[in-house]
Structure 1
Amino acid sequence: MYKEQIDAYIDGHREEMLEDLKTLVRIDSQRGKSQEGMPFGEGPAKALAAAQAMMDKYGFKTRNYDNYVVTGDFNEKEKQLDILAHLDVVPVTEDWTVTQPFDPLVRDGRIYGRGTADDKGPAIAALYAMRAIRELGVPMEKNVRLILGSDEECGSSDLRHYYSIEEEAPMSFTPDADFPLINIEKAQLQRPFLAVFKADGALPRILQIKGGSKVNVVPGKAHAIVEGMETAVLQEAAKTVEDETGIVFDIRCEEKATWIEAKGNSGHASTPEVGNNALTGLLMLLSRLPFAPSDGFDKVKAVAEMFPHNDYNGKALGVDMEDEESGSLTMNLGIFEYSPERLSGHFDSRAPLCATDENLTEVIRQKMLGYGIVMEAGKLVPAHHVPADSEFVRTLLGSYELYTGKKDSRPLAIGGGTYVHELERGVAFGCMEPGVDNHMHGDDEFMEIDTLLTSAKIFADSIVKLCTK
């Protein structure tokens, strides 16, 4: 009923919308040192203040929650919908080429700058959706609240603070992910493991293995130090493994030991197939070499057997599973260290809705115990799931289809977590379009301006439908 007026309003406020986004992008809101009244430092607090000033200017009732989040309410009626976006940003490098990270630039239908895609641009799209409805006088039977946080990139403690004060709305979405909509975020199992054994000095032997620094990252590099192994044997085995895996090995001989450097490609643990795990490639190589028999070497071979290279789905561990709604389990060995007396590691699994502690956690624990390796106690972090056939999800998808012309769109399941992971009734809805690389978290981050405007229209249509029923 109000589509034409909303569309015209958003298109007519294009330049003003971009100027407001530029105002936010110019603020370096990387997390800083906590100060009194500024839990995440000066930058995030400045971004919250600027956003609150915008919402005040456009007639929304605002509140600052101790510089964790600021909110803007459409009206004083019963709250129906929360929209959650964040104003903090990830660190930047000096390698930007189009412009500097906090000097926004419009060029060729895009706006460049840190936060344009994640998540200041989507925050502005949501704000202008609410502004359009308000200034057009669209009658709203219930309230929508815009919640702007400042710690999403470092753990979302901002939302924990907010929800210690306020209750979750009947419906919530965050424009900090992909269209068409994400309604399932897989369960997570991140567990350390350990084995201790007696050192054995027989040669050849492994002195050290080390790879990975974060469990949720596919290690792009790893190294080992060995002694007593003939260089020709190392080089021949390395060439074979290189051909099989694409991992590149650099072998460097020193006086008493030989260094083996492995180089693959990093990636996120939720999509391990996108990377090329240097650590599992290195373990594959080491397990094939003729080291002297020892308890330590047996344990290295056991880890290589449990986490074989390119086993993205946990088949070797006996936990390969999938379901129609949420897809397949993923597995990533993210951290591993070895010395002649002990080894330790840490894996990351993203599991479908069918996963339980019985068919996942305990299966892995028992598998490791069979090799004399102990997994630290802990349980599966439950999956997040909002039913695809709920009225909320169907309404949002309907708005997306209305503006994109795409039919029969289906909600997505992902291995990662979004800003609404802890909310019972929250989904992720935009603003990224499939197939578009916005360089999110990278150099030269950008948002396509047409996508920004379309997102604002989609959000406005959704708000009207959800809050006038």
Structure 2
Amino acid sequence: MIDFFEEVNKRKEDIIADIERLCEIPSVLDEATSNDGQPFGKPCREALDLMLSIGERDGFKSVNVDGYAGHIDIGEDEETFGILGHLDVVPCNEHGWNTDPYHVTIKDGKLYGRGVADDKGPLIAGYYAAKIIHELNLPVKMKTRIIFGCNEENGSKCMQYYFTKQPYPKMGFTPDAEFPVVYGEKAGVNFQMKGEIEKDNIIGIYSGSRANIVPETCEAYISGHYKQYKEDFIHYLNQQGLQGSLEEEGNHTRLTLIGKSAHASTPDAGINAAVYMCHYLATISENQLVHFVDDCFYQDNYGKKLGIAFKGLMGDLTVNLGVLNYKDGYASLVVDMRVPHEMTDEQLTMPIVQQLNKYGLEETHELGKALYIDPQSDLVQNLHSAYVEFTGDHIHQPQAIGGGTYAKSMPNCVAFGVEFPGTDNKIHQNNEEISIDDLLKATAIYAKALYNLIKK
């Protein structure tokens, strides 16, 4: 009997070293350096090239698909099993990290750094799982194709392009979520909300850079000397248990409020700085933007105040105000929603439009697709069996989530790991981390599950 965990441990140092190299590259979307061959910017192209070189180093065929994505083929068979991961990462907050986010720190049995859990670490785990099967010369009926893109965090344009150039694998998984196996993902939708709003005493509000992150910081500029707001604002921060500051800016006042970042699919795990700022501003201003945010988002991550609360087989609809910009009387907001597959576009849109009309705002949006794979399918059951074998966990069952992954990019694909039940890898947050033991265990699970599905 093959001891996959022992095989993984033999390669522990190599696994960590490859993760360290990948995480040194700040592969955030960089439109300023976007051009032919690097559509998502220079850092993302550098990460792509490094991953391709890892495959070539190990003697495998690597293919670059116009800088959008690439793959490494392990094996020679015609049929293909796909393992899909992403090389791009979300931006890091300027403050809040205890270590350099782009230099992996090993401490107390954990790796710390941007990408160690989302998704460079898990991608390397999937790669080594397939590599182990190949190096053991085990009999298989399918090759494994490790597929990696550079735009998962901003709409997965990489996979949309990649699959216009390359065929779909027969089946696959993406190590970009949590254990146990994820057979369902809610539809993702970003509402772009815009309009002109009379200033009142609000000069500007700025919060968030990505819709799929709960914004941690919000800055607001208001007319009047800071002394007239100081007592009330500090009292508000203390009352809410939040950090922040206020400073004099010429004849104006700058307010800063610090919340807590989190993934947009789990907004309850964060504290939305934009929403909490507007809740305060609504007490000192008649500005309709801050009242819209306060009325429709404060202490409500489930769309009740917007009139769109919905619970389906995959759980509740969730709402995250990810980006808020207000300057020169013009408001621009981006709201991320994760929508159960039973909800129609009309059910979602009509109540929102009615609310926006009250505040002089307009919207545009595109409802994404949901994912649903039969929980009794061979793919789901084989993956889950490997998870149970290595964890002994019979309590947690195959599940549906709010997060969106590459699993939606191809047929017969699901998300599988890497976060274990009861752990928090701080994905999209400060101090992203992964336990080395969890990483190695996940790699062994992937190897066992993959072999179950592709062995002769």
Could you state the TM-score of these two structures normalised by the residue count of structure 2? 0.81
Q: How far apart are residue 273 of structure 1 and its match?
A: 2.2
Q: Deviations over 1:241-269 (max 9, x none)?
A: 557644567667889x7637252404243
Q: Tell which deviates more after alignment, 386-395 or 208-217.
A: 208-217
Q: How far apart are residue 396 of structure 1 and its match?
A: 0.8
Task: Give me the whole-angstrom Cα distance separating, in 2, the residues matched to 1:342 and 1:31.
Answer: 26
- 1:64 counterpart SS class: strand
**Cα distance change, pair 162–310 in 1 and its aligned pair in 2 (3 A):** same
Q: Deviations over 1:367-413 (max 9, x none)?
A: 333x2534324342232333333221121111111111111432343
- Alignment match, 1:11: 9
- 1:164 counterpart SS class: helix
Contact 2:225 2:248 in 1 (8 A): no
- Alignment match, 2:214: 218
Task: Give me the whole-angstrom Cα distance separating, in 1, the residues matched to 2:25 and 2:271.
Answer: 36
Letter in structure 2 aligned against 1:208: I
Q: How far apart are residue 326 of structure 1 and its match?
A: 1.8
Indicate whether 1:267 and 2:254 are aligned: no
Q: How far apart are residue 163 of structure 1 and its match?
A: 0.9
Task: Give me the whole-angstrom Cα distance separating, in 1, the residues matched to 2:281 and 2:99.
Answer: 44
- 1:123 counterpart SS class: helix
Letter in structure 2 aligned against 1:326: M
Q: Deviations over 1:303-345 (max 9, x none)?
A: 156415212212122211212x322122233445668966554
* 1:144-293 paired onto structure 2 within 5 Å: 144-196=144-196, 205-214=200-209, 215-219=211-215, 220-223=217-220, 225-226=222-223, 231=228, 245-246=240-241, 259=253, 261=255, 263-268=257-262, 269-289=264-284
Q: Deviations over 1:167-221 (max 9, x none)?
A: 222322111222223333322332233455778xxxxx53435242434443432
**Cα distance change, pair 80–338 in 1 and its aligned pair in 2 (3 A):** closer
**Cα distance change, pair 133–222 in 1 and its aligned pair in 2 (3 A):** same
Letter in structure 2 aligned against 1:367: Q
Q: Deviations over 1:60-111 (max 9, x none)?
A: 4433333443323233334242001234455567987667834x56565445
Task: Give me the whole-angstrom Cα distance separating, in 2, the residues matched to 1:87 and 1:81.
Answer: 20
Contact 2:204 2:328 in 1 (8 A): no
**Cα distance change, pair 17–300 in 1 and its aligned pair in 2 (3 A):** closer
Q: Which has the larger radius of gyration?
A: 1
Task: Give me the whole-angstrom Cα distance separating, in 2, the residues matched to 1:454 and 1:182.
Answer: 18
Contact 1:287 1:300 in 2 (8 A): no
- 1:3 counterpart SS class: coil
Contact 1:262 1:279 in 2 (8 A): no
- 2:166 counterpart SS class: coil
Contact 1:206 1:340 in 2 (8 A): no
Task: Give me the whole-angstrom Cα distance separating, in 2, the residues matched to 1:100 and 1:227.
Answer: 38
- Alignment match, 1:414: 401
Match of 1:388 among 375, 379, 397: 375
Letter in structure 2 aligned against 1:358: E
Q: How far apart are residue 436 of structure 1 and its match?
A: 3.5
Contact 1:401 1:409 in 2 (8 A): no
**Cα distance change, pair 194–46 in 1 and its aligned pair in 2 (3 A):** closer
List alignment gaps of at least 5 residues for structure 2. none
CA RMSD, Structure 1 to Structure 2 (Å): 3.9
Q: How far apart are residue 51 of structure 1 and its match?
A: 3.8
Letter in structure 2 aligned against 1:259: T
Task: Give me the whole-angstrom Cα distance separating, in 1, the residues matched to 2:246 and 2:327.
Answer: 19
Contact 1:280 1:307 in 2 (8 A): no
Task: Give me the whole-angstrom Cα distance separating, in 1, the residues matched to 2:293 and 2:43.
Answer: 45
- Alignment match, 2:302: 313
Contact 2:110 2:434 in 1 (8 A): yes
Task: Give me the whole-angstrom Cα distance separating, in 2, the residues matched to 1:217 and 1:79.
Answer: 37
Task: Give me the whole-angstrom Cα distance separating, in 2, the residues matched to 1:246 and 1:311.
Answer: 18
Indicate whether 1:352 and 2:348 are aligned: no
Task: Give me the whole-angstrom Cα distance separating, in 1, the residues matched to 2:160 and 2:430.
Answer: 30
Q: Deviations over 1:411-441 (max 9, x none)?
A: 3433332233333432221222234444555
Contact 1:330 1:349 in 2 (8 A): yes
- 2:255 counterpart SS class: strand
- 1:464 counterpart SS class: helix
List alignment gaps of at least 5 residues for structure 1. 200-204, 292-296
Task: Give me the whole-angstrom Cα distance separating, in 2, the residues matched to 1:121 and 1:346.
Answer: 29
Letter in structure 2 aligned against 1:273: D
Task: Give me the whole-angstrom Cα distance separating, in 2, the residues matched to 1:230 and 1:91.
Answer: 34
Letter in structure 2 aligned against 1:331: V
Task: Give me the whole-angstrom Cα distance separating, in 1, the residues matched to 2:395 and 2:278.
Answer: 45
**Cα distance change, pair 129–48 in 1 and its aligned pair in 2 (3 A):** same
**Cα distance change, pair 40–433 in 1 and its aligned pair in 2 (3 A):** same
- 1:218 counterpart SS class: coil
Task: Give me the whole-angstrom Cα distance separating, in 2, the residues matched to 1:384 and 1:28.
Answer: 30
- Alignment match, 2:140: 140
**Cα distance change, pair 82–241 in 1 and its aligned pair in 2 (3 A):** same
Q: Tell which deviates more after alignment, 216-225 or 105-114.
A: 105-114
Indicate whether 1:322 and 2:311 are aligned: yes
Could you state the TM-score of these two structures normalised by the residue count of structure 1? 0.79
**Cα distance change, pair 309–138 in 1 and its aligned pair in 2 (3 A):** same
Letter in structure 2 aligned against 1:12: K
Letter in structure 1 aligned against 2:125: A
Match of 1:463 among 440, 450, 454: 450
